[in-house]
Amino acid sequence: MTVAVPSPTLGLGIQLSGRPDLLPGISAAEESNMATEQVDQSVVTTDPVTPAGPEVVRSSSVHTSTTSPSGQETTRRIFVFAFGLISVLIGARIILLLLDAREANGLVSFILSASQVLVAPFDGILRTDNLNASASVLDVTAIVALVGWGVLELIVLWAIGIVRREPA
């Protein structure tokens, strides 16, 4: 007779682990980017009664498989993150200028100056750079920059996708 018994320490099932003792030789930073599946199962077998009494054989097995993103996937994630930060900065610039935020404020000043570097390459593409209504300003150049950086992101991701393709 064979009976599967969950291990008293880990149990039967899947664990996503952040414990470094489960994956020796792998740093905590590398392990945080990986999905780890570990199954621990104990099997107890009781053979028929022998003259010396019942014989119990215990065996235990552990199966661990680890996956992590490929180099191209990591590159894609870095570019998506970088272009996301660019989009957030330019979007914040548009909103702050529309709301006529005080440029004397340190945070507002930082966002406007950091986003100016990202908007500058698109300056002068259209004849009108700003639309003014009382104190609010619609920065048309920032909108063009937002679209331009989005197109550039799509081109970069497309290029990374071509490199990733597996042969048929």
Answer whether 46's CB lies under 8 Å from 27's CB. Answer: no
- Identify the domain boundary among 68, 87, 119: 68
Q: Which element (helix H / strand E) includes 130? A: strand 130-133
| Count of domains forming the chain | 2
Predicted pLDDT at 39? 61
Predicted pLDDT at 151? 96
Same domain? For 127 and 106 the reply is yes
pTM: 0.59
Interval 37-85: pLDDT, tens: 666 666 666 666 566 666 666 677 777 777 888 888 888 999 999 999 9
Same domain? For 57 and 77 the reply is no
Q: What are phi and psi of 38, to 5 degrees?
A: -130, 130
Q: Domain containing 32: what range?
A: 2-68
Same domain? For 59 and 97 the reply is no
- Identify the domain boundary among 42, 68, 94: 68
